[in-house]
Structure 1
Amino acid sequence: MAFLARIKQSFGQTFSFFADSIAELKKVKWPTRKELTSYTIVVIVTVLIIAVYFTVLDLGISNLLRLVFEG
């Protein structure tokens, strides 16, 4: 019987977890479509700027090393 009691307690904890999760999700202030769009644009632009920066940096270092080792 102790085994069944542990299983019942385990399922109770699992259901309690999901119930608490749903309750917390109802408290969240979800962004509007306009806010979500602007956040997405900011992230994409930031990633593109960083990608261009590292590409230029990589090309510069590659050319510098090529000059040092071939020169």
Structure 2
Amino acid sequence: MAKKLGFFGKIAKFFKSVKSELKKVNWPNKEEITSNTLVVIVTVIALITFIGLIDLTLANIITPLIS
């Protein structure tokens, strides 16, 4: 019969499990991190520009209508 774990035993088992799973992770190398970061930065800048242009256009259309 399996031994019943107490509260702290369950916590210890959880962290052992986490440590085991983290060893299985395929961590990205420096080049992958750099290229992915660049993609994120370019995408954010593109979205900021796109949303800003839409906002500016709509503001210029709506402002004369409400004033």
1:39 aligns with 2:39: no
Q: Which residue does the alignment assign to 1:65?
A: 62
More helix by share: 1
Structure 1 vs Structure 2: percent identity of aligned residues? 38
Mapped partners of 1:24, 1:46: distance in 2: 32
Q: CA deviation at 1:16?
A: 0.8
- Give the TM-score of the pair, scaled to structure 1: 0.83
5+ residue gaps, structure 2, are none
- Give the TM-score of the pair, scaled to structure 2: 0.88
Q: Matched residue pairs, number?
A: 63
5+ residue gaps, structure 1, are 1-7
